[in-house]
Amino acid sequence: MIDLHTHSLFSDGELLPSELVRRAVVHGYTAIAITDHVDFSNIEQVLNGIKKTIYLEEVWDIQVLPGVEITHVPPQKIAKMVALARELGARVVVVHGETLSEPVLQGTNRAAIEAGADILAHPGLISKEDASVAAQQGVCLEITSRCGHNRANGHVARVAEEVGTKLVVGTDCHSPDDLMTDEQAYRVALGAGLSEKRAHDAIVSQPLNLINNLK
């Protein structure tokens, strides 16, 4: 399992980064990105803490990727946030998309895509036009297992299939029970309406390609 969207207690998760990584190892993870919520007020502190978690690679067989989830930032400021996150050492940059379960500003999806984020998380009822731009930009859309955010999984999968956008399955883990095995992630992908091949790509091929080509 490669999970590129998780949270520790550096934002609203329940676990220390070390416990999050340890539990991921038990679930069979080979790579995990810790992507706590950030904006301009906390990005330095959050990333400084997450980056220290890399020491766990010395003792456990897992790749630990420091990251961020840029969250509820006005669309016109997202490009600056993406650039700042990379400058500060984020290996994976996720942007909190226009989920159906929170009041995210319209235009966030497009701004995240144009800024070159790695993953647009739970993008809600993303337009075909925005998904097409994501395909051109190489931005992955997320199929999520998280309750509430997953209401639009079917729509995201359908639009991505129509325009050829890359997909990844993410847990958006906030608590221990949110972590998944490969089999559970595969079922989430199938449940979104993906074919067996596209489901496999979303949980294996695309996440692997993404981490092998990190900026």
Interval 170-184: pLDDT, tens: 999 999 999 999 999
The pLDDT tens digits of the residues spanning 106-120 come to 999 999 999 999 999
pLDDT value at 51 more than 60: yes
Residues whose CB is less than 8 angstroms from the CB of residue 71 and which lie 6 or more positions away in sequence, other chains included: 37, 38, 39, 96
pLDDT value at 52 more than 90: yes
Q: In the predicted model, what is the mean pLDDT of residues 36-53? A: 98
CA distances from 39 to 34, 147, 188 (A): 15, 23, 29
* Number of C-beta neighbours around residue 179 at 10 A: 22
pLDDT value at 215 more than 60: no
The pLDDT tens digits of the residues spanning 149-158 come to 999 999 999 9
pLDDT value at 168 more than 80: yes
Q: What pLDDT shows up at residue 214?
A: 79
Mean pLDDT of the chain: 97
3-class SS shares of the chain: helix, strand, coil, % to 5: 45, 20, 35
Query: pLDDT exceeding 90 applies to what percent of the chain?
Result: 99
d(CA 155, CA 146): 15
The pLDDT tens digits of the residues spanning 64-102 come to 999 999 999 999 999 999 999 999 999 999 999 999 999
The pLDDT tens digits of the residues spanning 134-143 come to 999 999 999 9
Please give the domain boundaries of the chain with CATH numbers for all domains: 2-212 (3.20.20.140)
Band of pLDDT at residue 29, cut at 50, 70 and 90: very high
User: Strand 167-170 vs strand 140-144: parallel, antiparallel, or unpaired?
Assistant: parallel
